[in-house]
Chains A and B, each alone.
Chain A
Amino acid sequence: GQNIDQPTEMTATEGAIVQINCTYQTSGFNGLFWYQQHAGEAPTFLSYNVLDGLEEKGRFSSFLSRSKGYSYLLLKELQMKDSASYLCAVRDSNYQLIWGAGTKLIIKP
């Protein structure tokens, strides 16, 4: 079966760095996505990786290793507004998205 694993919850301190991991086993691979979802709001797109390596976008970076079935989202200089759930999703060989259950990130002052 297809599976996406990510930690259920993480806690970090304002101003620090946090890495949210995502591992996947899917039928084929056509890209990996990270979305951010604040409580009670719609998920919003953060990043897309289809080739191995690191994609940097401001305070957020996303890394992909296709051979290891592994990605991480790196958040630097954490701010209170980064408190949210972070959803990892992989697009499989049928171009369907398989979603992880999300990681709830709690930022403490």
Chain B
Amino acid sequence: DVKVTQSSRYLVKRTGEKVFLECVQDMDHENMFWYRQDPGLGLRLIYFSYDVKMKEKGDIPEGYSVSREKKERFSLILESASTNQTSMYLCASSTGGASGANVLTFGAGSRLTVL
């Protein structure tokens, strides 16, 4: 019954390494999002996508990039990981359009530690 799957639950990487976080959804949703979640802060949007091969910067895109080659898959890339990118990363998807609730369905999260 899993609808949004994140490839890695826990990762430990070293400073400077390239990191790929994969997210796949099986609900045929148009919209996909990457957030990071840190203690004491609200979810912060990194990047989002409303369509295949389309991407938009969120509130904190610096140090990140994304790829959406297929509708169901949205990848987050850390080109050169740094310790301040240690965080929980949450992928989410929703239906498209500007009307209605467009409720987010989240993946279980990927906890990244950068040493």
**Cβ A101 vs Cβ B106 within 8 A:** no
Main secondary structure of the interface of B (DSSP, over half): loop
Pick the residue among B42, B104, B105, B109 that contacts A98 (CB under 8 A).
Answer: B42
Query: B43 on the interface (CB 8 Å rule)?
Result: yes
Query: A44 on the interface (CB 8 Å rule)?
Result: yes
Pick the residue among B40, B105, B107, B108 that contacts A101 (CB under 8 A).
Answer: B40
Within 8 A of A (CB), among B32-71: 40-45
Give bound CA distance, A32 to B31, whole Å: 19
Interface residues of B (CB under 8 A from A): 4, 40-45, 90, 98, 101, 103-109
Q: A48-B103, A99-B43, A101-B40 are in contact. List 14 more A-B contacts (CB 8 A).
A: A4-B42, A8-B40, A33-B103, A35-B104, A41-B108, A41-B109, A42-B4, A45-B103, A45-B104, A45-B105, A89-B42, A95-B98, A97-B104, A102-B42
